[in-house]
Amino acid sequence: MGFAPQTDGGFSGIFQGDLGYSFWNRKPVVELLAIKWPVTFELGFLGLIISLLIALPIGVYSALRQDKWGDYTGRSFAILCISVPGFWLGTLVIVLPSIWWGHMPPIMLIRFTEDPIGNLGMFIMPAIVVGMALAGVTMRMTRTMMLEVLRQDYIRTAWAKGLRERVVILRHALKNALIPVVTVIGPQLILMLGGAVIIEQIFNLPGIGRLLFGAITGRDYTVVCGVVLVLGVAIVFVNLIVDLTYGFLDPRVRYR
Range of lowest pLDDT (47-56, 124-133, 183-192, 223-232): 183-192
Query: What are the backbone dihedrals phi and psi of residue 28, each rounded to the nearest 5 degrees, phi first?
Result: -60, 140
Query: If DSSP codes are grouped into helix, strand and coil, which group holds residue 21?
Result: strand
Q: What is the mean pLDDT of the chain?
A: 82
Range of lowest pLDDT (192-201, 222-231, 233-242): 192-201
For helices 29-64 and 116-150, the axis angle rounded to 10 degrees is 40
Sign of the torsion formed by the C-alpha atoms of 132, 36, 198 and 120: positive
Closest by CA to 193, choosing from 181, 179, 209, is 209
Topology of 4-253 in CATH? MetI-like fold (1.10.3720)
Residue-wise pLDDT tens digits, 75-84? 999 999 888 8
Task: For residue 143, name the pLDDT band (cuts at 50, 70, 90).
Answer: very high
Contact call for residues 44 and 191 (beta carbons, < 8 A): no
Q: Residue 145, Cβ neighbours under 10 Å: how many? A: 21
Q: Judging by beta carbons within 10 Å of its beta carbon (0-12, 13-18, 19+), is residue 205 exposed, middle or buried?
A: buried
* Domains of the chain by residue range: 4-253
User: pTM (2 decimals)?
Assistant: 0.81
Contact call for residues 52 and 219 (beta carbons, < 8 A): no
Cα(97)–Cα(208) distance, rounded to whole angstroms?
27
Mean pLDDT of 231-253: 80
Sign of the torsion formed by the C-alpha atoms of 75, 241, 211 and 48: positive
Contact call for residues 131 and 47 (beta carbons, < 8 A): yes
Closest by CA to 35, choosing from 207, 214, 225, 209, is 207
